[in-house]
Structure formats: structure tokens, C-alpha cells
Amino acid sequence: MSDFRVTSISRLHAEFSVPGDKSISHRAAILGGLSNGTCHIRNFLPSEDCVNTLRAMQAIGARCEVIEELDGFGPTGLRLTGCSMKPVAPTAPIDCGNSGTGMRLLAGVLAGQVFESELFGDASLSSRPMGRITTPLGTMGAKIETLGEKPGCAPLRIHPAGLHAITYELPVASAQVKSAVLLAGLFADGRTTVIQPAETRDHTERMFAAFRLSLRRDGNAISVYGGQTPEACDFQVPGDISSAAFWLVAAAAMPGSRLLLKDVGLNPTRTAILKVLSRMGAHMIDIVHDSAGEPIGNVEIHGAPLKGTTILESEIPNLIDEIPVIAVAAALAEGKTVIRHAAELRVKETDRITTVVNNLRAMGADVDEFDDGMEITGGNPLRGAELESFGDHRIAMAFAIAGLFAKGETVVRDTACVNTSYPGFSHHLDAVLRERSNPADFTLPTVSRE
């Protein structure tokens, strides 16, 4: 089992880019795989989660040619030829690994087919709630059995069914549920509408537009008509701001540091982390240089002494995946940081309220735990500790960053899980730990097959 061993550093001066966005890569694999031709997808995230979704699309009829790889991980450049909205029956159950996004979005695709299929995942995914998608998909006419030991949990057995359009008010602000219903809507008769209680990441809507699927947005209501076929297109996946967040926090909390992250996704439904770090005192410039469907840009951040902040309820869906590392920033800041209205954290890859609180306390931080969040009083010096990742990629990386500020060595156990979202994280961590400033040290090795 691999571990991270981290000691403190005194400066962070670096320029690099992080791998492709996980949410966007899943959607590129799905829409490209359903499209009517060949799509050239660049900077695909070669993580286990996204590669599983790509394999799932191949299992139902898409064809994929890999043209570039991240050495030792998986495809970053691909030519994906879609099945033109006529998926075929998979010959075996489909493995979604650790990915809630993969399973929920694929369930949306598979719900309205003439064949039976099965989706399964690892132990963490098999304990996450699937009722949030089986309920609306069931209302559309889908027949989905949850076969898990825990009620309402995966594996999912999806029986053949015809779907009809619905209007669905989401009970939780979830981009995965919204996307599952919209994808199912493509296979349903009529106009399917999803109404979200708060804005969630809008990559599905943007990608529908890129693939020339007509979609209507009316405030928080999003509608799509069935019977459309995505038109193949070329697509560049921006760097993942949720992966960038680890380094943004490291630089923000280290006075004197300067970090330039290139070609990061700056979709406004994902950038609350930048607002929060600015509010905490970091100096930041972001420059959007391309806005073809998904805004991409460079973010430059300069460290400063941080102060605590209150995360607004409206910000929570926008930065839900960044909360573990925001909690680390809070422990390094002067004063109190309040994170409430975030009960969704309890049903992520781990219960991220408990895992964050336990690890912060082990490092000497002052934290109170609530049902829906935590309150952190920063300023206690962090001490190195032996920590578990609990098999959760974002916990492993957040506490590697905490270790950069702690007195003594921090060991994070069981860190292979970082490949779920950030293959190459340990290469970047290694370069940072050696306080290198040569950009070549930060470049992830790719292999071209063309």
C-alpha cells in the first residue's frame, strides 16, 4: 500500500497545469459515446473513474482510439466514435469503480433501453445513496432494482423500459441527479424538465450545447427534448479546478509563495474556491483566455497570512469537493471558519465531515463537528501525524497539503486512491517537497501514439 510522507516546506514557487476535469471528462465520454460521429477529445482525465466511464461507453457500442497517454496511467487524447444514440447490450456487468458520477450518469443513459444492464462499484460506491436517481428515473418509467446490501444502494439492475418525460424538482442540489435525468430525457418521449433548488455545476448543460443538443434554461429549470442525437465535435477538457484547489490552498497559506496554474477550468459554477481564498486574504488573479463552451484560464496566487471566513449556504454546491482542503486552509488561518449546510459531505466517497474532523484533530487543530458541517478555530500550529486516507482521494490529498505546514513528518496511509481524480499528484507533491522551481519538474510525462 502506498503512503505519502510529507514534511514542511518554506516556499512554493511553481508553474504547472493539473490534469483534466473529472466531471467534464465523464460527460465527454458519455456524450461522445452517444454521438453520431468521431470526436477528438484532448486532455481527458486518465483517472480510474473516467476510464471506467469510457469503458462503459465502449461496452455499449462506442469505439475508442487512444492517441495520447499519461505515462503509466491512461488516455488523455482520444478519438471516440459514438453509437449514434443506439447503444447495444453490454455483455457483462459494468464496473463504475469508485465513481458516483459515473454510476448515476450511466444509469440515466441505460434507464430507457431495450436491453438489461447492471452497474456495480467498489465498497464505497456500494454504500452511497442511489434512491436519488432511481426515484426520478422510476417516475419516467425506468425499472431499476437496487441489489446492494444497504437498501437503495448499488449494484443497480436496469431492466428494459420505455421512458416518458417528467418535470422533476430535485430534493437536493445535485449535479449528478440533474444530469442523470437530463440524459434519460434524451431517450424519453417529450420534454423533460429538472428544477434545482440551487445552482449546481452546469457542465452537462454546456456539453449538451457543444454537441448541438437543444436545451432550455429558465432560471433553475432546465429542459431537454427526447429524440435528439448529439452531433460529434472536438473538445478540450480544461484542468480540474478541484485538483488545482490543493495547490491553491498550499500557496495561499504560505506567505511569500507564488503559484501559476495554467489552463484551469473557470466555469463560474465551480470557482467559489477562488472567492473563498480571496476572502481569507490570498492575492489572486485569474485570466480567462478561452471560453469555447467551458471557460479556461490561468490562475496566479500569492500567499498571505489567512483569516477565517464563513462559507455561505449558496456557495456549498459550488465548492462541495473542495471542502476538505478548505478545512485545511481554515486550520492555518487566524480566527474562526464556519462550514454549515454541507450534510451532502456525509454521502461522498467517505463521510467527509467525520474524516476531515478526525484528521484535523490528529494534527492538533481545534474543530467542532456538526451534523451538517464543522467550525474550525485556526491558528494552532499543526503537528505531523499518522493519518488515514480512508481510501478517499480528496482526503489523501488535502492532508498531504496539511503536512506541508506541520511540524514533524506527516504520513498519509493508503494513497493509491488519488488516481481516482488526480493521476500524477505524487509527482507534483514530490516536486513541491524538493522545493524545485524548474517547470520541467512539474510536467507530467505523456506519450503520443500518433
Residue ranges in contact with ligand S3P by CB under 6 A: 23, 101, 174-176, 179, 200-201, 317, 320-321, 344
Least distance between ligand S3P and beta carbon 418 (Å): 14
Instruction: Please give the single-letter amino acid code of residue 435.
Output: E
Q: Is 321 a catalytic residue?
A: yes
Per annotation, catalytic residue among 95, 321, 366, 392: 321
Least distance between ligand S3P and beta carbon 140 (Å): 18
Least distance between ligand S3P and beta carbon 71 (Å): 26
CB 318 within 8 A of CB 278: no
Least distance between ligand S3P and beta carbon 119 (Å): 16
Closest CA relative to residue 140, chosen from 88, 91, 177? 177
Q: Which is nearer to ligand S3P, 14 or 144 (CB)?
A: 144
Residue for cell digits 471566513? 309
Q: Which is nearer to ligand S3P, 52 or 101 (CB)?
A: 101
Q: Which is nearer to ligand S3P, 3 or 344 (CB)?
A: 344
The C-alpha atoms of residue 216 and residue 108 are separated, in whole angstroms, by 19
List of long-range contacts for 278-287, beta carbons under 8 Å, 24+ apart: 279/309, 280/252, 280/306, 280/307, 280/308, 280/309, 280/329, 280/333, 280/337, 281/252, 281/305, 281/306, 281/307, 281/333, 282/248, 282/251, 282/252, 282/253, 282/306, 284/252
Q: Which is nearer to ligand S3P, 338 or 343 (CB)?
A: 343
CA-to-CA dists, residue 205 to 62, 117, 178, 180, 294, angstroms: 22, 26, 10, 12, 11
Q: Which is nearer to ligand S3P, 69 or 322 (CB)?
A: 322
DSSP 45-86: --SHHHHHHHHHHHHTT-EEEEEEEETTTEEEEEEEE--TT-
Coil/strand/helix, residue 190: coil
Least distance between ligand S3P and beta carbon 9 (Å): 28
List, by residue number, the catalytic residues.
Answer: 321
